[in-house]
Amino acid sequence: MKRILFASSEAVPFIKTGGLADVVGALPKCFDKSAYDVRIIMPKYQCIPDRLKELMQYKTHFYMDFAGASRYVGVLEANYGGIIYWFIDNEEYFSGPKPYTEWHWDIQKFMFFDRAVLSALPLLDYRPDIIHCHDWQTGLIPVYLHDSFQGGDFFRGIKTVMTIHNLKFQGNDNSLVFQRLSGLSDYYMTYDKLLMGPDGNMLKGGLVYADAITTVSDSYAEEIKTEFYGEGLDGLMRARAHDLRGIVNGIDYDIYDPATDKDIAFNYTADNAPQKKLENKRALQKELGLGSGDNRFMLGIVSRLTDQKGFDLIAYVMDKLCQKDVQIVILGTGDQKHEDMFRWFAGRFPEKVSANIYYSEPMSHKIYASCDAFLMPSLFEPCGLSQLMSLRYGTLPIVRETGGLRDTVEPYNQFTDSGTGFSFTAYNAFDMYNTVLFAHSIYIDHRDAWNRMIGRAMNKDFSWQASAEKYREMYDWLIG
Ligand code: ADP
Ligand code: GLC
C-alpha cells in the first residue's frame, strides 16, 4: 500500500476560499483504494461549520516547542466520503471567523502548522511515502523534513511534492522575523535557499527542497518560467524545470452535475440543455429581480474579486456593456474597489446587473446553470475551475488566453463549427469587449451554432480521471 498525505490549508467540504479547496477535496477520492491510501491533513479552524466539526473525533495531542513557547497541538480525525481527514488543533492559531487573517499572523500560523504536521506523524503511527504539499502555507514542510526531522528511521526517505496553485502568494516576511519564528538556522537564509530580497519565503523553501514540483496546467508551468508570470521565482522555476510538470485540474463530477444538482431550479443533460437552461435563466431573473426576457444575453461571474481575475478590464467597458441587451450576474467577494464597482452598476442598471457580494455555493451553481456565457478575463490563471464548471453546465466561457484558461477553453471557429467558448489574447479591455459582442452576435443570430457549442462544452471530459492518473504516475516514479 502506497501512502500519500495531502497537506493543505483548505479542503472541501470543511473550508473553502477558492479552487485549492476544490482540488484537495476531490483528487484524493480518485485513486484506487486497494493500492493507495491517500489522506488529508489541514488546520482545525474554529470557523468550520458545526455540522462538519461534529464528524471529528479526538485522536491525540502533544506539546511542541515553537516560536519561543511550548504549544498545544491536538489532532482530530474525520472520515468523509471514505477519505480520512486529520485536523491540527490549536485555538490560538486557528480561531477567528476566517481561515486567513492578517498577513504576519498567517505566516506564523502556517509555520506552526507545517511543524505540527511532521511532529504529529509518529504519534498517528502513519508514515507517508509522500507528503504532497499545496501552496505557500505548506512550503516549510519539505524544509523542516530536510532540517530537523531526519534523525531516526521514521522520516528517512519520505518524499515531498510541492504543488503551485498560485505563485503570486508566497508567504514571505522580513528575514529576521522569519528566522525567529521558523527556528531555521542561518544555513537556510541564503539566496539559493529561502531568502528572497530582504525576506524569508515559505513557498521558495518548498520549491527548493521538494522532490517534485507540479502546477495546475501545462501553460502555467511554462508561463512561470518567464519574468511576467514568475513573481520573482522564474529563475528558480527554470533551474528546476526538469522537476516541474503541469497537471491540469479537474472538477468533482458528483458535485457539479446539472442532471442531479439539487441547487438548481431545473435539472438537465446535454440533450435538453438549451430549453432547460432557459427555464433556469427565467428562474434566476425572477429570484434576483432582473428584467425578464428570454433573449437577453446573460453573462455570469463567480469569482474572488481580485486584480488577478481581470476586473479592471470589466470596469473599463462596463458602462458600454450595460448599453447592450445583456444581463450581468456577479457572485463574489474581495477587493473593495471591485465590490463597489459592481454595486454601483447594479444600482444604475437594476434590470441588467445583479451584484451579489457574498459567498454562496448554491448561488454559484444557479449561475453556472442559468447564464448563457461566463466571463473570466484573467490577467493570469494557474488553472481556473469556474470555467470548467461553466463548461459542464453548458455555459460558454469567454476567457483570456492565459494559463489553464488557454488549455481548457477551445475558441469558437465559425468556419469549422468547432470550439467550446470564446477567447482573446492581449490583456486589453476592448479586445475583451469585442469578444463579448462577438459571442452575443452568435447567440442572437446563429442560435443553432450556439446550441451545438453547448453540447460540445457539456460533453468535454473535465473529470479528475485523466489528471489523477498523471499524479499516480508521478507518485509511483517518486516512490520507485
Ligand atoms: P481561484 O482558486 O483562483 O479563486 P478557481 O476558478 O480555481 O479560482 O476556483 C474558484 C472556486 O471558488 C470555484 O469553485 C468557484 O465556484 C468558487 N467561488 C468563488 N467565489 C465564490 C462565491 N462568492 N460564492 C461561491 N463560490 C465561489
Ligand atoms: C488557485 C488559482 C486557480 C486554480 C486553483 C486550484 O487559486 O488561482 O487558477 O484553479 O488555485 O488549483
Q: Which residue has the cell 460533453?
A: 459
Please give the share of the chain, as a percent, with pLDDT higher than 70: 100
Q: Which ligand is nearest to the CA of 358?
A: 1
219 lines ligand 1 (CB under 6 A): no
Mean local confidence (pLDDT), 32-56: 98
Tell me the three cell numbers of residue 426: 492581449
The SS3 assignment for 155 reads: coil
Q: Which helix (H) or strand (E) holds 234?
A: helix 234-239
249 lines ligand 2 (CB under 6 A): yes
Please give the share of the chain, as a percent, with pLDDT higher than 90: 98
**DSSP symbol at 82:** T
Strand arrangement, sheet containing 2-7: 57-66, 69-80, 83-89, 36-43, 2-7, 130-134, 159-164, 212-215, 244-246
Contact 166, 207 (CB under 8 A): no
Q: Which ligand is nearest to the CA of 16?
A: 1
The SS3 assignment for 286 reads: helix
**pLDDT given for residue 446 in this prediction:** 98
| Residue with more model confidence, 153 or 473 | 473
Give the amino acid at 341. Answer: M
pTM for this predicted structure: 0.97
Three-state SS string across 304-360, please?
EECHHHCHHHHHHHHHHHHCCCEEEEEEEEECHHHHHHHHHHHHHCCCCEEEECCCC
CA torsion sign for 19, 24, 27, 29 is negative
364 lines ligand 1 (CB under 6 A): yes
**In angstroms, what is the span from residue 303 Cα to ligand 1's centroid?**
5
Residues whose CB falls within 8 Å of the CB of residue 272, separated by 6 or more in sequence, listed in order = none
Contact 447, 273 (CB under 8 A): no
Nearest-angstrom CA–CA distance, 281 and 285: 6
Residues whose CB falls within 8 Å of the CB of residue 90, separated by 6 or more in sequence, listed in order = 71, 72, 73, 74, 112, 116
Tell me the three cell numbers of residue 161: 511534492
Domains and CATH numbers, the chain: 2-250+465-479 (3.40.50.2000), 273-461 (3.40.50.2000)
Q: From the alpha carbon of 166, which atom of ligand 1 is closest? A: 3
Residue 448: HSE in the Cβ half-sphere, 13 Å Cα cutoff: 2
333 lines ligand 1 (CB under 6 A): yes
Integer CA distances (angstroms), 382 to 134, 224, 267, in order: 13, 9, 31
Mean local confidence (pLDDT), 267-292: 98
* Residue of 10, 15, 20 with the most ligand 2 atoms within 8 Å of its CB, for mutation: 20
Closest CA to ligand 2's atom 10: 384
Residues whose CB falls within 8 Å of the CB of residue 215, separated by 6 or more in sequence, listed in order = 163, 164, 165, 167, 221, 224, 244, 245, 246, 247, 382
24 lines ligand 2 (CB under 6 A): no
**In angstroms, what is the span from residue 60 Cα to ligand 2's centroid?**
33
384 lines ligand 1 (CB under 6 A): yes
Neighbours of 196 (CB within 10 A): 18
Question: What does DSSP say about strands 212-215 and 159-164: parallel, antiparallel, or unpaired?
Answer: parallel
**In angstroms, what is the span from residue 381 Cα to ligand 2's centroid?**
7
**pLDDT given for residue 152 in this prediction:** 75
- Is pLDDT at 40 greater than 90 in this prediction? yes
Interhelix angle for 103-124 vs 175-182, to 10°?
30
381 lines ligand 2 (CB under 6 A): yes
Nearest residue to 188 (alpha-carbon basis) of 170, 172, 201: 201
Nearest-angstrom CA–CA distance, 28 and 360: 24
Q: State how far Cα 391 lies from the chain centre.
A: 17
Closest CA to ligand 2's atom 12: 165
Tell me the three cell numbers of residue 313: 478590464
| 121-172 per-position pLDDT tens digit | 999 989 999 999 999 999 999 999 999 887 778 999 999 999 999 999 999 9
**In angstroms, what is the span from residue 19 Cα to ligand 1's centroid?**
6
Closest CA to ligand 1's atom 18: 303
Q: With cut-offs at 50, 70 and 90, classify the pLDDT of residue 384.
A: very high
**In angstroms, what is the span from residue 138 Cα to ligand 1's centroid?**
21
Mean local confidence (pLDDT), 40-67: 98
Q: Which residue has the cell 524544509?
A: 143
**In angstroms, what is the span from residue 388 Cα to ligand 2's centroid?**
12
**In angstroms, what is the span from residue 15 Cα to ligand 2's centroid?**
15
**Euclidean distance between the first and the last CA atom of the chain, given in angstroms as a whole number:** 13
Q: Which helix (H) or strand (E) holds 396?
A: strand 396-400
